[in-house]
Amino acid sequence: MSKLRSLLAGTVLAGAVVAGVAAAPAQAATTSASTASSFSKHWFEGYSGYGRGESSGHRSYYKGFYYYANGRYYFDVDVWDRDRDREKTYVDFWYHDGRGWHQGHRLVTGGHGKFRFSYSARGGFDGYKFRIGEGQVGRYDWSSYANRSW
């Protein structure tokens, strides 16, 4: 009976070791996948102003998000020019660091545009603001700025 117990105990022990070895790669894959998607998205949006003769439904619109990962702030922005008047939509993106405010990008579209860019946190990046406008050079219907600082 002692030999039978030893044999069963050895079989159970071997089975546990095999099960542990088989589970280790799956657990490692789950851990790395959850780490890669552990950032959280922060959403923002806004509308342009609108001039005489336009309804509010024709205002230009932007919606996007940013997230922080690997020492950088990543931005993903969609912009829509919702009327058909041959004027362009402009989105001004400004960022703030230890030296003040700087215009980072001017995004331009005549329909739908998708824009992606990023900034390093090492340069002191600590805030941003967007505004959107529609029109012709010197005559824009600008929105107010949407700000974010941290």
Q: What is the pLDDT of residue 126?
A: 86
In this prediction, residues 78-100 reach a mean pLDDT of 84
| DSSP result, 56-109 | GGG--EEEEEEEEETTEEEEEEEEE--S-SS-EEEEEEEEEETTEEEEEEEEEE
Mean pLDDT along residues 62-90: 87
Residue count (the chain): 150
Phi, psi for 20 (deg, rounded to 5): -65, -40
| Confidence label for 33 from pLDDT (cuts 50, 70 and 90) | very low
Structure tokens of 133? 């406008």
pLDDT at 23 over 50: no
Spell out the domain ranges in the chain: 1-38, 42-149
Q: What is the CATH number of domain 42-149?
A: 2.60.40
Q: For the full predicted model, state whether its pTM sits above 0.75.
A: no
**What pLDDT does residue 83 have?**
75
Assess contact for 48 and 132: CB atoms under 8 A. yes
Give the chain's end-to-end CA distance (angstroms, integer).
Answer: 70
Each residue of 98-136: pLDDT tens digit? 888 988 888 888 888 899 999 888 888 888 888 888 877
